[in-house]
A and B are shown apart, each in its own frame.
Chain A
Amino acid sequence: MMHANAFDRFLNTFGSWALALLWGLPLAFAIWTAIHPAEFEANFELLAPLTTANFIKAWEAAPFARYFLNTFVLVTLILACQFFLGTLAAFAFARFRFPGRSILFGLVLLQLLVMPDILIVENYQTMRFFNLVDTIPAIALPYIASGFGIFLLRQTFMTVPKELDEAARLEGASTLGLLWRVYVPLAKPTYLAYGLVSVSHHWNNFLWPLIITNSVETRPVTVGLSIFAATDSGTEWSVINAATLMTSGPLLIGFLLFQRQFVQSFMRAGIK
């Protein structure tokens, strides 16, 4: 898109910057309150004293270390299962002909619409039935069969040239061997893309973990933060924001460091 003149360009630069500053305001505020004492939560004096007390207080007030561990275990578990189940299913849809294929694929796509988040009431009953309430697997299970993942992988697998199939078969590869040796390596970009989407989505997930967890040993950081922030005795923004930065920290830092890859993978995940 070419600009008519320098003024036009200036307007666009100005506009994009204004929006960027506006968009970044909440994060800037969180950083401000987290590094200054409570008196400066609402007073934006530039030379206010800095402090790490808020982070220390937040860390000690709730078992964030445990929450981090829980979240880490959770997203890893979900991702591993999603890869495993998704790869197998996508391979079946991409390369096999069998009765009911379209219907089943349709049912898989349905999950894009009817997400586990909508079915909280029934999924909770299911977990109770299996005696899994308040466990980390319980948070993970509704998500590990991912319609989105299967769809993406299927698309990718469908682009693998059939000649590679035949070559591998000639060398005596079994079905699973074919999958593992040929298809999976070729789909690496998709795995990366999907992995980043999944991790960031599940790191930030709140409602279902809130419902299904009740104790410190299973709670992820999002739920831990919400409990921590909801006390009777008034909102201490400096401490809460310190906690917020701590809990979003890993994702945020990861994003800052791998910005380009992050953005590219999201882009790749979404096209079509």
Chain B
Amino acid sequence: MKQFLVFIRKEFFHVFRDRRTLLIMFGLPVVQIVLFGFALTSEVKDITLTVIDQSGDVNTQQLIRKIKSSSYFIVNETSVDYNDIETAFKKGTAKSALIFPPNFGNDLQHGGKAQLQLLTDGSDPNIAKTVVNYITAITTAYQQEISPSQKLPYTILTESRMLYNEEGNGSLNFIPGVMALVLMIVCTALTSVSVVREKELGTMEILLVSPFKPLLVLIAKAIPYLLLSLANFILILVLAVFVLDVGIKGSIVLLFLESMLFIITCLSLGLMISNTTNSQQTALLISMMGMMIPTMIFTGFMFPLENMPKPFQIISNVVPSRWYFLIVKSVMLKGLGFSYVWKETLVLLGMTTVALTIALKNFKTRLS
């Protein structure tokens, strides 16, 4: 036991003396959170909307005020001529424009029907669609407001709610994704490199000649990274809660335990890689290419898995982070209990067993 502690102490020395490793470990989650949280947001806010009001009556003014008061638009009322609007789009000075024809209010009040034109920049379809949706919603609301007494024979109102995320906060989806990604990179890459480094330096030989048990070498290598990863996990969680306002709805204990399981899965993968390679570069390359890219693509937080062709959906099943992502989403965002995530937990347990078995088997054959 004492030998074991001596070994773990040594591993911590390695980690803390290697500034690059430390930077990767704790810089990565911070950078990821900031990037995904602020730079890569999928919400559309503060869109510049050029308004050309050729009518200038009460109705158009009321409608424009409504649009202004929503947080989605910055209304630009500089009087651009209707004929110049296309040039503005070409130059990129306008991304969306709302045009009220002359007599808008008159038509609405006397004819009971008025038209307005909404132009959007289709080269950015995401924003264009969002603009259309927002403006439609605002005009519909306005329409009901000015004619409440007017009873239509049949009305269907779609009352939509985004469950678990009423405000459409984009952070909610990627936080579990970032957690999966960071833990995957830190655990898998760093563990595999740390074992292979000893092989390269020749210290592994010394360790194998010593009375220290080979199995313990593996465990002692993994433990510091387990602890550091847990610290990392807590860091991400703190950032998520206090910087990005993502609440934890479910049990923190369950979330912690499931994360520990996922970390162990990643550590096992790292050990598996390190025992089948002989150079740090190979180990790093395999863990980056073989783990990071599939994690980005097949976890489901960047690209929806449901839209992928069937073969890719099947491939995604072997990516551990995919299951962890589901677990975190269920527990953290929906507040579900263990009875909802036991299947995913079982899958992770199975993957860990397989990876560890392969790791140990390879470690033994190297000794004979």
A and B physically associate:
no
